[in-house]
C-alpha cells in the first residue's frame, strides 16, 4: 500500500510539473498581440487579477506625455522599422542616414494592426467584465474591418447575455477608424457619413444614395440615381464626388494591408556609458498583481468587505492570479535574459552594424544560458528589437552568420565599375582574398537575398 501511494504522488507531481511547463511555453511564444488578448481574457474571467497599464511608447518603451514620445523624435527615417525594410531582410543592411524629423505622435497612431487598435480602444471604453466580449469582437473583424459575426453568435460562444454584446457592438461602432464594426459596406459608409452630417458638411443627397442606390452609385449611373431620388444629374454627380472623396467602403482603409506597416519592438537595446542595456517593453507597460480586496480576504483580514463570491472561490481566484502572474514574469524574465546575453555577445554588431555580427546559433546561446534550445526559439520567434541606431530588426538577425559576408558583398557591388559589373565568380574571388571563402553559387544566393541583379542586368541598367 505504501508503494502504491508513493507512486501515485510521484505521478501527480510529474503531471502538475508538465502542465506548468506547457503553460510556460505557451505564454512565452505568444506574440505581443496574443499576449494582450490573453491579459484581457484573464482579467474578464478572474476578478482577483489587477492589471495596471502604464502609458509607454510602443516603439521605444519610454514614458508618454500627452501621447507624445520625445525619445522617438528625430531618428533616421530608416529607423521606422517598416516591415520588409530591415526586419530580418538584409537587403538594406541597416545603413540609413539621419534625415527629416518625423511626427512621432502620428507614427505611434498609424500602422498598428486594426484588431489590436480596436481591442485597445474597447478595453478603455468597456467595463472590466466585458473584456472577453471586447477580445472576441476584435478577433471577429475581417481584413476589411467589418464585423463578421452577429451578437447572438458572440453571446452563445461566450455564454453571456445578447444585450451585453449589443451594447459592446454599439461602443465598437463609435471607435476609430470610422465605420469599424459595421456589418456591410452600406452601414460602414453611413457610419462615416454621420460625422459629416453632424457638422453640416454633407450634401443631402448622400444618405439616400447610399441607402437606396449603392449598386448604381458603384456603376456611376447618375441618370438612374437622379430619377430614383428625384434630383438632378448634377446633384447626383456632386453626391458621388463627396462620397468618393470623404468616405471609404471599408474602415480598414486607414489600415491598408498593402501599405508599409511599422513594427513595434519587443526589446530595446540602449547604449550607456558602461556598454549596452536592454529593456523588455511589456515589463514596463504592464503591472500585474492580486486585487487588494482579494489579497486581504485571502490573508483572512476581518475588516475586508467581501465581494459577491463564495469564500472558497476567493482562494481559488487568488491562486489562479498568482500562477498567471508567475507565467507572465517568467516570459519577461526569459526574454530579458536572452536579450542581455545578446547585448554582451553581439556588442560589436550593436556598435558597428552588420559587419560586427559574430556567428551564433540558438543552440549555442541556449548552452551559454543553461536553458533549452526550444526556449530560445520560442522566445525569439516573431519578435523584434530596437537597436541603438534606431533601426528595428527581427531577432533572426542576431543569429544570421551570413550578415558580415553580405555586408562585404554589398560593398563590393557598390564599388564596382558600372561599365563592367562583376560576375559571381569574380565576386567570389574577391571575397576569398578577404578571408571569406564562398562558392560562386553561394555568392549568387546571397546576391539574390540582397536584391542585387545579375551582372548582365546590372550592365543593362547603366
Q: How confident is the model at residue 419 (pLDDT cuts 50, 70, 90)?
A: confident
From the list 113, 120, 134, 141, the residue with the least C-alpha distance to 264 is 113
Q: How confident is the model at residue 119 (pLDDT cuts 50, 70, 90)?
A: confident
Task: Tell the burial category of 336 from Cβ atoms under 10 Å away from its Cβ (0-12, 13-18, 19+).
Answer: middle
Lowest-confidence segment of 11-25, 156-170, 327-341, 368-382 by average pLDDT = 11-25
Give the confidence band of 105 by pLDDT, cuts at 50, 70, 90: very low
Please state, in angstroms and as integers, the Cα–Cα distance from residue 207 to each residue in 92, 185, 219, 296, following that order.
Answer: 48, 13, 17, 57
Taking only the tens place, the pLDDT of each residue in 129-144 is 888 898 889 888 887 8
pLDDT band at 252 (very low <50, low <70, confident <90, very high): low
Secondary element (H or E) of residue 51: strand 49-53
SS3 201: coil
343 with 274: CB under 8 angstroms?
Answer: no
153 pLDDT above the threshold of 80: yes
Rounded to whole angstroms, the Cα distance separating 32 from 29 reads 9
pLDDT of residue 310: 65
Rounded to whole angstroms, the Cα distance separating 394 from 380 reads 9
- The whole-number pLDDT of residue 359 equals 82
Q: What is the DSSP letter of 279?
A: E
Are 423 and 455 a contacting pair, CB within 8 Å?
yes
What is the mean pLDDT of the segment spanning 348-371?
88
pLDDT surpasses 70 at 126: yes
**Spatial contact of 87 and 384, defined as CB atoms under 8 Å apart:** yes
The arithmetic mean of pLDDT across residues 315-340, rounded, is 94
Instruction: Tell me the CB-side half-sphere exposure of residue 377, using CA atoms within 13 A.
Output: 5
Separation CA 135–CA 116 (nearest Å): 9
Q: What is the pLDDT of residues 255-301, one digit of tens each?
A: 444 444 456 789 999 998 888 999 999 998 889 999 988 888 888 76
Q: How far is it, in rounded angstroms, from Cα 161 to Cα 169?
A: 13
Do residues 362 and 9 make contact, with C-beta atoms less than 8 angstroms apart? no
439: which 3 cell numbers? Answer: 562558392
Element holding 46 (H helix, E strand): none
Quick check: 297 and 61 in contact, CB under 8 A? no
C-alpha cell at position 239: 453626391
5-43 tens-digit pLDDT: 555 555 555 656 677 778 888 899 888 878 887 887 888
| C-alpha cell recorded at residue 427 | 565576386
Q: How far apart are CA 424 and CA 439, in angstroms?
A: 9
Higher-scoring residue by pLDDT: 413, 309: 413
- Lowest-confidence range among 104-113, 206-215, 257-266, 320-329? 104-113
Residue 111, pLDDT > 50, answer no
Compute the mean pLDDT over every residue in the chain, rounded to the nearest whole number. Answer: 78
Residue in the structure block whose three cell numbers are 506548468 = 20
Q: How confident is the model at residue 220 (pLDDT cuts 50, 70, 90)?
A: confident
The contacts of residue 174 (CB under 8 Å, 6+ apart) are none
CA angle 112, 245, 222 (to 5 degrees): 135
**Grid cell digits, residue 167:** 451594447
Asked if 348 and 358 touch (Cβ cutoff 8 Å), the reply is: yes
Q: What is the pTM of this model?
A: 0.55
Quick: pLDDT tens for 45-104. 899 999 887 766 666 666 655 444 555 543 333 333 333 333 333 333 333 332 333 333
For residues 302 and 74, the model is more confident at: 302
The rounded distance, in Å, linking the Cα atoms of 206 and 239 is 5
Is the model's pLDDT at 202 over the cut of 80? yes
Residue 329, all three cell numbers: 514574469
The per-residue pLDDT for 11 is 55
Task: Round to whole Å and give the CA distance between 36 and 57.
Answer: 16
Amino acid at each position: 500500500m505504501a508503494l502504491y501511494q508513493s507512486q501515485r504522488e510521484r505521478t501527480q507531481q510529474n503531471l502538475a510539473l508538465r502542465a506548468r511547463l506547457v503553460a510556460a511555453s505557451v505564454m512565452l511564444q505568444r506574440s505581443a498581440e496574443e499576449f494582450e488578448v490573453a491579459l484581457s481574457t484573464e482579467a474578464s474571467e478572474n476578478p482577483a487579477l489587477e492589471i495596471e497599464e502604464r502609458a509607454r511608447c510602443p516603439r521605444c518603451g519610454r514614458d508618454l506625455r500627452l501621447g507624445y514620445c520625445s525619445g522617438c523624435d528625430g531618428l533616421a527615417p530608416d529607423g521606422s522599422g517598416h516591415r520588409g525594410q530591415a526586419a530580418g531582410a538584409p537587403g538594406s543592411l541597416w545603413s540609413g542616414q539621419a534625415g527629416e524629423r518625423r511626427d512621432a505622435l502620428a507614427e505611434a497612431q498609424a500602422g498598428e494592426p486594426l484588431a489590436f487598435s480596436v481591442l485597445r480602444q474597447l478595453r478603455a471604453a468597456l467595463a472590466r467584465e466585458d473584456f472577453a466580449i471586447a477580445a472576441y469582437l476584435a478577433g471577429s473583424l475581417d481584413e476589411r474591418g467589418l464585423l463578421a459575426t452577429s451578437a447572438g453568435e458572440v453571446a452563445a460562444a461566450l455564454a453571456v447575455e445578447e444585450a451585453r454584446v449589443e451594447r459592446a457592438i454599439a461602443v465598437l461602432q463609435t471607435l476609430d477608424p470610422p465605420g469599424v464594426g459595421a456589418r456591410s459596406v452600406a452601414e460602414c459608409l453611413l457610419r462615416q457619413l454621420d460625422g459629416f452630417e453632424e457638422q453640416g458638411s454633407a450634401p443631402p443627397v448622400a444618405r439616400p444614395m447610399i441607402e437606396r442606390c449603392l449598386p448604381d452609385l458603384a456603376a456611376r449611373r447618375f441618370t438612374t440615381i437622379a430619377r430614383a431620388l428625384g434630383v438632378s444629374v448634377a446633384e447626383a454627380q456632386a453626391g458621388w464626388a463627396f462620397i468618393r472623396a470623404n468616405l471609404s467602403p471599408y474602415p480598414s482603409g486607414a489600415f491598408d494591408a498593402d501599405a508599409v506597416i511599422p513594427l513595434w519592438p519587443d526589446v530595446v537595446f540602449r547604449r550607456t556609458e558602461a556598454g549596452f542595456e536592454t529593456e523588455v517593453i511589456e515589463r514596463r507597460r504592464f503591472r500585474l498583481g492580486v486585487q487588494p480586496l482579494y489579497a486581504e480576504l485571502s490573508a483572512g483580514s476581518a475588516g475586508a468587505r467581501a465581494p459577491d463570491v463564495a469564500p472558497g472561490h476567493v482562494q481559488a481566484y487568488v491562486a489562479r492570479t498568482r500562477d498567471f502572474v508567475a507565467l507572465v514574469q517568467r516570459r519577461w524574465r526569459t526574454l530579458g535574459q536572452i536579450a542581455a546575453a545578446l547585448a554582451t555577445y553581439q556588442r560589436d554588431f550593436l556598435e558597428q552594424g552588420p559587419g560586427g555580427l559574430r556567428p551564433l546559433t540558438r543552440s549555442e546561446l541556449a548552452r551559454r544560458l543553461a536553458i533549452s534550445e526550444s526556449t530560445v526559439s520560442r522566445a525569439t520567434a516573431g519578435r523584434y528589437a530596437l537597436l541603438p541606431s534606431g533601426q528595428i530588426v527581427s531577432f533572426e538577425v542576431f543569429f544570421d552568420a551570413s550578415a558580415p559576408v553580405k555586408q562585404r558583398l554589398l560593398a563590393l557591388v557598390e564599388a564596382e565599375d558600372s561599365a563592367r559589373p562583376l560576375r559571381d565568380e569574380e565576386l567570389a574571388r574577391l571575397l576569398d582574398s578577404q578571408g571569406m571563402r564562398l562558392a560562386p553559387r553561394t555568392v549568387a544566393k546571397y546576391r539574390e537575398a540582397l536584391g542585387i541583379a545579375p551582372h548582365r542586368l546590372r550592365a543593362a541598367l547603366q
